[in-house]
Every structure is written in structure tokens, then in C-alpha cells.
Amino acid sequence: MFISQILKNDRGGQIMLAVLAAVLIVVPLLNLAVADTNPLHVPTYLVTLMGKYLTYALLAVAVDLVWGYLGILSLGHGAFFALGGYAMGMYLMRQIGDRGVYGNPDLPDFMVFLNWKELPWFWQGFDMFWFAMLMVLFVPGLLAFIFGWLAFRSRVTGVYLSIMTQAMTYALMWAFLRNEMGFGGNNGLTDFKDILGFSLQSDYTRIALFIASGLALGLAYLLCRFIINSKLGRITVAIRDAESRTHFVGYKVENYKVWIFTVSAMLAGVAGALYVPQVGIINPSEFSPLNSIEIVIWVAMGGRATLYGAVLGAILVNYAKTVFTGLMPESWLFMLGALFVLVTLYLPRGLAGVWVSLKTSFGRKRGVAA
Amino acid sequence: MLAKSLNRIGVVLILLFFSISAAWAETNPIWSQASSLFKQASFDKTREAVDLLANSSDPQAPVALKALLEGQLYQHKQNDSLAIIVDSTTVDVSTGQTLSTVNKDSYRKIPVNNTLRKLLRSKIGGLSLSSPDPKVRLASATGLLETVTPEQLPQLQELLGKETDPQVKDALNLALQLAALNGSDQAEKLTALKALEGNLNPIIRNKLASLTSDADTEIAKAAQSTLRSIESKVILNGQLETLFFGLSLGSVLVLAAIGLAITFGVMGVINMAHGELIMLGAYTTYFIQRLMPNYLDYSLFLAIPAAFIVSGLMGILIERTVIRHLYGRPLETLLATFGISLILQQLVRTVVSPQNVPVSNPSWMSGSLEINSLLSLTYNRLYILAFSLLVFAILYFVLRNTSLGLQVRAVSQNRAMARAMGVRSARVDALTFGLGSGIAGVAGVALSQLTNVGPNLGQSYIIDSFMVVVFGGVGNLWGTLVAGLSLGVINKFLEPWAGAVLAKILVLVFIILFIQKRPRGLFPQKGRAAGD
């Protein structure tokens, strides 16, 4: 079968996808079919929280694709994520219709507040779901394409590229903070009511979004694995390990880089689009350089160039974040900072690397015994 | 303007009077003479009284004249005494003392007409123009500009002949030209217009603007050409001011980036915690000021070496514990130092305060250097501009002319060869990193004088600093200097038409595009040092 072909030799991925499938089936059941009083009942807020983690995991997979397999440390994936989120947010804003505070059927509240008379051209079409979804892919993809096309063709590599991607998201953050941009300025887009006609508050919508996030993660995982297993994937790894050599062998290195970077940005955009309806807000803080660099540590924590490690890392780090910001908010930045230092110093291959080395050393011992 | 400056003079004089009135209780006989003249209630007699007062040397005379001009001078209906009544306070003119219980109805206002007002204005101006205090003279000469009339010409010329203070002389000269412009003699007007070329006083500009539509075409033409010369000078001054602001911003960028130019440029280490080392320097300034609250003026001189040591030691600590293990893995270094920056930020939040802390400016840094009436440069920005150049010069000297600098350059160009020649590369690494970090601390001291000092101080500079280093060309101190200053200037020149935020974005986009064209910056390293 096609899927088993893709996942051949990917034990981690097999386990990860199996667990994901189980969670996607069991959690909604525990939420809907089990009574509130039962200790096994999963409350809706937890479902949404898990949905949020799944979108983060998807984002981490996107970063792992470029960092793990192409060697590009992007400190700007938060920007692609946020752009996807804004595209979804614009659709959700248009869905509010005349239920806003000002009751204007044509304009979102913040535009009425700014005394705008009509919808700006770049808001046209976002009342249609299909168009918004197209934009979720198109806008981050286009930005990544242009940025990558410029950067990779002139051989901007390594830390230079990282700093440039960081400057990109930084510039976008400042841009989106401006009211004149027409994206709600500092407050961003919020007060969403419903999606495709279903209320965002209802349990069913939330479960549907949770399942959608899980499916998106699974599909994105398969896509990335497919790319990596293909001939294209082998060239990307070659570029990562010996860029000049690949170039001299005759491959157009920059083209490969641009396309992988663009695909990765689109995946990040999808993650953002699924994230926004679940948290109910999108604002310029998503563009902040800190957010983008945090994604990198999820991947580093889970294990670079494994894909399933990215999923594991994203979920673990964010779970820890939820727990510790709740328990003692002061300590979280200490822990995150320490995580950055310790993972780079002592876990260069992440948790997945630990698992692999444990397995091999265990396997060798057994081999000796037999 | 006139009223304001006269008011101030009045206050000064009143205070002066109070201080000597105890010893000088007896009132001058001119007051009784003036009272009797005022009492006759004729404009001619009032005129005589004004002359009398103006020619007297009584310190209260200008006060009385000013009150008369403003319609605040009253005479008592029974005892003829003169008083100034403003709202509900009544002041006896001859003594300057406030009278307690006074019935306003028992006073009669002394009337004035336009002829008298004109006379009063010139008399008051003349009185304070001959005051012994050059400051009073300057204020009244400046105040005169708005009201000067052709009739005052002879008086002004006479005063100008006696004047010694150059500033007052300038103001009097201006008043003379204006008086000529207000007059009717065409030749005089034309010479005055010629003389006013390039003058930046706004009153002159208004006067010229009204003259451009003068009935006399020759005058109108001359006024236009003079106005044009003035306006081009105004624009030039505006540009100079923008340039100064740009250089000031640029010097801040250079200060913030120059330490990075060493750690990133010379050692190739990406230090994301650089901003936090700047922040530590700023907090060191704060603590030094707290330790010596009575010597704020000197605290900065102590803060500079202290910040260098604090940040430098922190830098060495970071290098020894973390970065040492990550040489040759720049992306990992980036992540680890970013972690350190988070820890340092949170440390300051937890230990000191999440809020901004107050850092005061020493008195010698406040105020500004006035070049002309449109252009004044604030001292704190000037000092920081000079300071950043000084830091640059010292650093340049250290790297070029000391043995440490030689070793640093040797290690950065060829580590293996340097080691073979007996350079202890590990020690040089630590010292170089300490030097770069220490410079960051020094930058923090300077920044504490310009912006808020808080836990986020470093974060707001780190990306800009990297931009400066990358734009200038890694491994090149001159590049950092040129890049920092030019980015500052570009930013400030964009601001007027793009707005501050958009200017910032445009500069970032510009750098991103620039790096695509010249990936190694403005001044790329050449030869072997360029590495891969």
C-alpha cells in the first residue's frame, strides 16, 4: 500500500501516526460519549488545547523539513504561521457579518472604528471559505518563494540566512502593528463567531477542528516523508551535507532549496489557519522573533531530521509550557532558556537521538550475547 | 512675546525692589508729581507724566508704565495714590507693596489712547534697553522686534552706539532693520532687505512674507528674493537637524553593534545574548547611581568601567561554559546563546523588577548647544555621538596595535597556524569574547541615557545590531561604523515622509534586499580571511 511504502523503515513515524490515529478516535469519544462526572471524561477545553498542540506539531514538522533535511535554520517560520493565521482570521472576521459591536454588515469592527468607508481590496474574497483556504497556502508560499528565490540565488547561507529570516518576521511584526495596514493593528483579529456556519463555541465544532488538526498533521507528515524518500529528498540531504559538492555535481541547488522552503512555509500556513479558530485570536505578537525561535527548540528537543521527533518535541515543550506557566509563571523563561542551552550542549540529536542510541547499544549487547 | 518678557522684567524688578525697600522706605518725589499730572485726566498731562516717569531712575517706573499700557494702572479717588489692580490684587505702585483691604470702586482707571500706547511701548522698551543687566536688555531687544516702529529708529541707533554685548547688538540691529522695513523710505527698506538675507528669525520671515505683496514692486521683488534665501537656509537647517538625529541614532546603533562586530565578526560566534549584555551594562549604571545618589554627575565615569567589567565577566562566563563547546557549529551557538538571553532577561525580571528602572541624566548632559534659532543639538546626543566614536577608536587601536589584538586577528584568520606559533587560542577566545561583551556593557551605559532601562532593553537592539554588522560586512570594524551611521541617517531621512514604523520596516527590507545583492556586506573581507 502507498502509505506503508512511504513509512517503510520509519519505525518512529509508524508509532507516531498510530498514536495520533488512536488519539483522534479516543479523545472525541471520551469527550462526547462519557458523562461529565466520569473521571475518564475529557473536557472540551482540553480537546481544544490538544488541538492547539497538534497545530504546533504541524508547524514543527514544517521547520524540521527545512532545518533537518535542508540545513536551513529558519527563524522566520512564525511569520508563515501567522500569515496563514491571518488569512483564516480574515475569513472568520467576514463571517461575523453584522453581529459585531457596531453592527456593520460590510466592515469588521476595527475598520468602522478607524472610520474606513469600504473594504480594502486585499480583504475582497475572504468571505468565501475556499478563497480564504487558498490564501492560507498562497500567501505564506508566495512570501517564502520570493524570499527564498532572492536569498538562495545569491547564496545567502548559514547564520546569515537565519538572521535574514529573523529580520523578515521582525519587519512583518512592525508592519502588522500599524493600524493603516488594515489587519486590526495591535489588537489583531478576534471575537470570531462561527466557521462555515457552525458556532466556534460548540463542542462539535471544537472536536471537528481538533480532528482536522490531527488529520492535517498526519497528512503533512506523510507528505514530508514522501518528499524525503523521493529522489528530491535525497538531493536535499545532499545539499544539507555538502552544498558546494552538490552544486558542482550539476544540481541547481537554489531551485531545490526554494521549493522545499516554499512547501514548508505552506505547511506552516496551514498550521496557523488551524490554530486561529481554536485559540480565537490572531495578533502581531505571533510574528515576534521569540515565537519563531521557540519552534526551533521544539525541533531540537525532539530530534532534528526525524520528523516524528519534531512532533514529540512540540507537544512535550508546549505541554511543559502550559503546566509551568500555570504553576509558576516566573520559572518558565528560565526553563526555556535552560532547555536551549542544555539541548544544544548535551542532546544534539534530541530525544529521538537518545532513543536511537539506546536501541543500538541494547541491540549490540544482545548481539554479543547470542 | 513682549508682554511675557516685560512681565518677567516686572517680576524681577519687583523682587529687586522688595529686597531694598526696607532700607529705602521713603518714596521718590516723582510719584507725587506724576500723581498730580495723572489727576488732571487729560491725555497731554498723562503724556507729561509718562515722560517724567520714563526719565526718572525709579525702579518702579517701568512697572507703572507697563501697567498703564495694559490698562491696569488706577488712581485713588481721594488720596491720589497710584495702584496696579489685576483681578483682585492691588499693588501700590510707588512702593511695590500689596495693599490688603481695597475697595475697587474707590479707584479710577487712568485712560490711555493709541498715541499714548505707542509712546508707552517705546518708552518701556527704551527703559529696559538701558537696563544695566545684559539679559534684561537682550529680552527687551528681542521683545522689541514684534512692535518696533519707525519712530524708534533714532532711539535704537543711539542705543546701538552704546551697546557692548554682542548678542544685544545683534538683536538691536535686527530691530533697526525691522524698523526700517516698517517705515516708508524705499531706499532704507531695500538696504534693510539686503541686510536681512539669510536671517532665521521667524518674525522677520513673517514680515517678509507680508512684504512680498507690497504695492511697490521693487520692494516686493527684493522681499521675495530675501525670503527665498531665508527659506533655503531653513530647509538646509532642517536637513542638518535630520542629519544630526540620524547620526545620533547611528551612533547608538554603532555602539550596540560594535561589540557584536568583534564576537560575530572576528570570532564568528553568533551571540544572541549580546542585547542582554547591553542590558546588564544599563542596569550597572542604575545600581551605581543608587550607590552614590549624591554624586550623580560623576556616576557615569564610574559606571563605564563597572559596566565593562560586569558585562565582560559575564561574557567570559558564557564563553567558558557554553560557547567553548560549540565552536564550528554556528547554528547551535545561536540557539544556546538565545537560551542564555532568555535566562538573563528573566533573571533581571525576578531579581530587580519587571518594570523599567529610573536612570537619571547627569546635569552636564542636559541642555543643548544652540547653533542658531532653528538648529540646536542636545548635549546628551552629542556626547553619545562623541562617545561612540571614542569607543570605536579605542577598539580599533586595541585590535591593531596591541599584542592581544594581534593574537585575536591571528586566531580569527588561521586558528591552527596561530596555535602552532604559540598563541594560546582558548585564552584568546575567552578574552576576545570578554572584550566584545564588555563593549556591549559600555554601550548599555550610553543607552541608559537615551532610552528606558528595562528587561526588554536588549531585545529591542539585538536585531538592529545584527543588521548593522551584516550590512557593514562581517569581520570589519570600519564597515560596522559606516553601516551603523548610514543606517541611522537613512532611517531618520525616511521618517518624515514614511513615519517612524514604516521607516524601520523599509530599512529592514532594504537590508534584506541588499544582502541578496552583496551577501558579504558593504566591505567584504578579502583573501584568506574571507574563509569559505
- What is the pLDDT, as a whole number, of residue A228? 93
Q: How many CB atoms sit inside 10 A of residue A61's CB?
A: 29
Option in A167, A330, A338 nearest B350 (CB): A330
For residue B109, which phi and psi values (nearest 5 degrees)? -75, 140
Alpha carbon of A52: minimum distance to chain B alpha carbons (Å): 24
Q: Is residue B228 part of a domain?
A: no
Note whether A146 and A154 are within 8 A (CB).
Answer: no
Alpha carbon of A47: minimum distance to chain B alpha carbons (Å): 30
Coil vs helix vs strand at A353? helix
- What is the pLDDT, as a whole number, of residue B3? 55
- What is the pLDDT, as a whole number, of residue A35? 82
Any alpha helices (H) in chain A, and if so which ranges?
A: 2-6, 11-32, 44-70, 77-96, 109-113, 129-153, 158-177, 203-229, 231-241, 243-249, 253-279, 289-302, 308-327, 329-346, 350-369
Structural domain range at position B255: 237-362+385-525
Contacts of A44-48 with CB under 8 Å at 24 or more apart are A44/A203, A44/A206, A44/A207, A47/A203, A47/A206, A47/A207, A47/A210, A48/A206, A48/A209, A48/A210, A48/A278, A48/A279
Q: Is residue B177 part of a domain?
A: no
Option in B338, B350, B511 nearest A167 (CB): B511
Q: Which of residues 246-305 of B touch A (CB under 8 A)?
A: 270
- What is the pLDDT, as a whole number, of residue B6? 55
Largest CA distance in chain B: 108
Residue B234 has pLDDT above 90, yes or no: no
- What is the pLDDT, as a whole number, of residue B409? 84
A154·B517 Cβ contact <8 A: yes
Structural domain range at position A59: 2-369
Query: Which residues of B are less than 8 Å from A292 in CB distance?
Result: none
- What is the pLDDT, as a whole number, of residue B312? 95
CATH code assigned at B420: 1.10.3470
Query: Which residues of B are less than 8 Å from A74 in CB distance?
Result: none
Tell me the per-residue pLDDT of A12-59, one tens digit each, with 9 for 90 and over: 889 999 999 999 999 998 888 888 888 888 888 999 999 999 999 999
What's the CA gap between B90 and B96, in Å, rounded?
Answer: 10
User: CA separation (Å) from B524 to A43, A135, B476, B478, B479?
Assistant: 59, 40, 8, 11, 8
Mean pLDDT of B511-524: 80
Chain B contact for A340 (CB, 8 A cutoff): yes
Query: Which residues of B are less than 8 Å from A339 in CB distance?
Result: 339
Note whether B289 and B422 are within 8 A (CB).
Answer: no
Q: CA-nearest residue of chain A to B271?
A: A159
Q: Is residue B171 part of a domain?
A: no
Number of structural domains chain A divides into:
1
What's the CA gap between A279 and A198, in Å, rounded?
Answer: 16
For residue B510, which phi and psi values (nearest 5 degrees)? -60, -45
The residues near A348 (Cβ < 8 Å, ≥ 6 apart) are B332
Q: Are residues B141 and B265 in the same domain?
A: no
Q: Which of residues 278-337 of A touch B (CB under 8 A)?
A: 289, 293, 296-297, 300, 330, 333-334, 336-337
3-state secondary structure A21-87: HHHHHHHHHHHHCCCCCCCCCCCHHHHHHHHHHHHHHHHHHHHHHHHHHHCCCCCCHHHHHHHHHHH
Residue A367 has pLDDT above 90, yes or no: no
Tell me the per-residue pLDDT of B378-391, one tens digit each, with 9 for 90 and over: 888 899 999 999 99
Option in A153, A156, A158 nearest B515 (CB): A156
**Per-chain mean pLDDT for chain A:** 90
Query: Which residues of B are less than 8 Å from A348 in CB distance?
Result: 332
Q: Are residues B136 and B32 in the same domain?
A: yes
Q: Are residues B112 and B243 in the same domain?
A: no
Tell me the per-residue pLDDT of B11-58, one tens digit each, with 9 for 90 and over: 555 555 554 444 444 567 777 778 878 877 788 888 888 887 777 767
Q: Is residue B201 part of a domain?
A: no
Query: Which residues of A are less than 8 Å from B525 in CB distance?
Result: none
Note whether A272 and A82 are within 8 A (CB).
Answer: yes
Coil vs helix vs strand at B342? helix
A156·B470 Cβ contact <8 A: no
Decide which of B126, B147, B168 is a domain's last residue.
Answer: B147
Q: Are residues B250 and B137 in the same domain?
A: no
HSE toward the beta carbon, residue B447, CA cutoff 13 A? 32
Of B51-55, B157-161, B184-188, B524-528, which gets the smallest average pLDDT? B524-528
A313: exposed, middle or buried (Cβ count in 10 Å: 0-12, 13-18, 19+): buried
The residues near A151 (Cβ < 8 Å, ≥ 6 apart) are A161, A164, B515, B516
What's the CA gap between A234 and A20, in Å, rounded?
Answer: 27
Whole-structure pTM value: 0.78
Query: Which residues of A are less than 8 Å from B349 in CB distance?
Result: 330, 333
Query: Which residues of B are less than 8 Å from A158 in CB distance?
Result: 330-331
Decide which of B101, B130, B147 is a domain's last residue.
Answer: B147
pLDDT bracket for residue B532 (50, 70, 90)? very low
Q: Is residue B223 part of a domain?
A: no
Q: Is residue B241 part of a domain?
A: yes
pLDDT bracket for residue A210 (50, 70, 90)? very high
Alpha carbon of A349: minimum distance to chain B alpha carbons (Å): 11
Q: Are residues B314 and B462 in the same domain?
A: yes
What's the CA gap between A33 and B489, in Å, rounded?
Answer: 66
Tell me the per-residue pLDDT of A62-81, one tens digit each, with 9 for 90 and over: 999 999 999 999 999 999 99
3-state secondary structure B80-137: CCEEEEECCEEEECCCCCEECCCCHHHEEECCCCHHHHHHHHHHHHHHHHCCCCHHHH
Q: How many CB atoms sit inside 10 A of residue A154's CB?
A: 14
- The enclosing H or E element of A189 equals strand A189-190
Option in A296, A337, A345 nearest B325 (CB): A345
B26: exposed, middle or buried (Cβ count in 10 Å: 0-12, 13-18, 19+): exposed
Instruction: Please provide the size of chain B in residues.
Output: 532
Closest by Cα among B370, B358, B369 to B449: B358
Of B238 and A51, more confident: A51
Helices B134-147 and B114-129 pack at an angle, to 10 degrees, of: 150
- What is the pLDDT, as a whole number, of residue B411? 85
What's the CA gap between B296 and B177, in Å, rounded?
Answer: 47
Mean pLDDT of A103-116: 85
Note whether B284 and B447 are within 8 A (CB).
Answer: no
pLDDT bracket for residue A85 (50, 70, 90)? very high
Option in A158, A167, A168 nearest B330 (CB): A158
Q: Is residue B532 part of a domain?
A: no
Option in A167, A168, A340 nearest B335 (CB): A340
What's the CA gap between A61 and B482, in Å, rounded?
Answer: 41
Number of structural domains chain B divides into:
2
Chain A contact for B463 (CB, 8 A cutoff): yes
Query: Which residues of A are less than 8 Å from B273 in CB distance?
Result: none
- What is the pLDDT, as a whole number, of residue B14? 56
Q: Is residue B447 part of a domain?
A: yes
Q: How many CB atoms sit inside 10 A of residue B498's CB?
A: 15
Chain B contact for A153 (CB, 8 A cutoff): yes
The residues near A120 (Cβ < 8 Å, ≥ 6 apart) are A182
Tell me the per-residue pLDDT of B425-478, one tens digit each, with 9 for 90 and over: 889 989 999 999 999 999 999 999 888 899 988 888 888 888 888 888 877 788
